[in-house]
């Protein structure tokens, strides 16, 4: 499903080039769940962004379903994201002016789906927020916001789901609940799950763990 070869990222700084990721080669199979772990600054989020095509590598390549992201334009990668990928973020990344329902509808609306409202409401119901459809993020608790984000990520039934520290902003109990929900949905939809975390318990629930240290895969 996903394949990388010698993936690396170097950024220019005032003290010269800084390598934040180097020589990452891996293969992820369809339906697999992977945890990327490591200390802060180890390059987890960078790897995630390169796997998801949010950023371009300085060296190496990423292939999703055999398509080389490095060869694609930004618009090409956007299209691929739209077709195959879902995201969950640590800071939820909900649109503040939109209601919970509208936030979940958005990816479907971008696809021109006429049933956006019904599908979004169904999924919000699935994550237990049927009573919060008309609420804006500000009126929702952190856990509720992340549930909305989960619903938004799964509403397009993506092939791959990327999650960046999905419980990072939540207390342990709420975090646990969210993770349960994430894995349930993952199973139901048979999604390939790639999540970045430094929570070992969460990593343990994944089929495989990739450990990073100072930008290198251990």
Partner 1 sequence: MNRFSLALRLLFRDGRSGELTILVLALIIAVTSSTAISLFADRLHRTMSTQAADFLAADLVITSSALIPQLWLAKAEALELKQARTAEFSTVLIENEELLLAGIKAVSKNYPLRGVLKTIESGDYNKQVIKHQGPAPGKAWLDKRVLSALKLQIGDSLIVGEKALVISQLISYEPDKRGDIYSLSPRVMINNADLKATQVLQPGSHVHYFFQFSGSEKTLAEFRSWVKPQLNESQRLMDIHEDRPELGNALSRAERYLGLSSIVVILIAGVAIAMSTRRYSERHFNATAILRCLGCKQSEILKLYIFQFIILGIAASAVGSLFGWFAQETLFHLLRDLLPAKVADPSFIAVILGFLTGLSILLGFALPPLLRLKKVSPLRVLRRELEPLPTSAWLVYGLALSLISVLIWQYTQDFKMTATIIGGGIVTTLIAGLILYALLIQARKLLPFVSLSWRFGLQGLLRNPRSTVSQTLAFSITLLAMILSYTIRTDLIDDWQNQLPKHAPNYFVLNVFPPQVEPFKQSLQRQRINNSRFYPVVRGRLVQINNVPVQQIVSKDSQGERATHRDLSLTWGTELPTDNKTIAGSWNPSLKGQVSIEQKLAKSLKITLGDSLTFTIGSQQLQATVSHIRSVQWDTMKPNFYMVFSPRTLAGYATTYITSFYLADEDKSLLNGLVRQYPSITVLEVDAMLKQFKTILTQLTAAINYLLYFALLAGFTVLFAAVNSSLDNRVYEGALMRTLGANRTLLRKSHLIEFSLLGLISGLIAVVMSELLLYIIYTYILHLNFQVNILLWVGMPLISTVCICLAGFFGVRSIANKSPMLVLREL
Q: CB neighbours (10 Å) of residue 187?
A: 12
Alpha helices in the chain (DSSP H): 44-51, 74-84, 100-111, 116-126, 142-154, 172-189, 200-204
Burial of 14 (0-12, 13-18, 19+ CB in 10 A): exposed
Q: Phi and psi at residue 94, in whole multiples of 5°?
A: -95, 155
**Residue 107 binds partner 1 (CB under 8 A):** yes
Q: Taking the complex as a whole, how short is the minimal distance between the CB of residue 46 and partner 1, in angstroms?
A: 9
**Residue 71 binds partner 1 (CB under 8 A):** no
Residue of 21, 24, 34, 48 interacting with partner 1 (CB under 8 A):
48
Residue of 4, 22, 42, 45 interacting with partner 1 (CB under 8 A):
45
Which range binds partner 1 by CB under 8 A, 21-29, 33-41, 94-102, 187-195?
Answer: 94-102
Q: Taking the complex as a whole, how short is the minimal distance between the CB of residue 208 and partner 1, in angstroms?
A: 22
Residue of 98, 174, 177, 208 interacting with partner 1 (CB under 8 A):
98
Residue of 33, 38, 89, 143 interacting with partner 1 (CB under 8 A):
89
**Residue 163 binds partner 1 (CB under 8 A):** no
**Residue 85 binds partner 1 (CB under 8 A):** yes
99 conformational bin, left if phi > 0, alpha if psi -120 to 50, beta if neither:
beta
Q: How far is CA 123 from the centre of its chain?
A: 18
127 conformational bin, left if phi > 0, alpha if psi -120 to 50, beta if neither:
alpha
Token digits for 21? Answer: 């990721």
Q: Taking the complex as a whole, how short is the minimal distance between the CB of residue 107 and partner 1, in angstroms?
A: 5
Instruction: Please give the residue ranges that form the binding site for partner 1 (CB under 8 A).
Output: 45, 48-49, 54-55, 74-75, 78-83, 85, 87, 89, 91, 93, 95-99, 102, 106-107, 109-110, 112, 136, 138, 164
């Amino acid at each position: 499903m996903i394949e990388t070869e010698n993936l690396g990222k170097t950024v220019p700084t005032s003290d010269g080039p800084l390598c934040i990721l180097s020589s990452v080669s891996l293969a992820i199979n369809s339906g697999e769940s992977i945890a990327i772990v490591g200390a802060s600054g180890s390059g987890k989020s960078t790897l995630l962004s390169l796997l998801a095509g949010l950023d371009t590598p300085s060296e190496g390549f990423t292939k999703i379903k055999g398509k080389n992201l490095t060869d694609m334009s930004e618009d090409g990668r956007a299209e691929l994201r739209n077709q195959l990928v879902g995201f969950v973020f640590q800071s939820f990344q909900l649109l503040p002016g939109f209601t919970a329902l509208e936030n979940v509808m958005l990816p479907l609306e971008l696809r021109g789906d006429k049933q956006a409202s019904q599908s979004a409401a169904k999924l919000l119901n699935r994550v237990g927020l049927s009573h919060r459809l008309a609420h804006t993020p500000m009126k929702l608790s952190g856990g509720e916001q992340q549930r909305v984000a989960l619903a938004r990520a799964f509403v397009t039934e993506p092939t791959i789901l990327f999650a960046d520290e999905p419980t990072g902003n939540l207390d342990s109990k709420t975090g646990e609940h969210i993770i349960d929900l994430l894995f349930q949905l993952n199973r139901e939809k048979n999604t390939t799950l790639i999540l970045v975390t430094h929570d070992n318990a969460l990593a343990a629930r994944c089929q495989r763990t990739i450990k990073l240290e100072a930008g290198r895969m251990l």
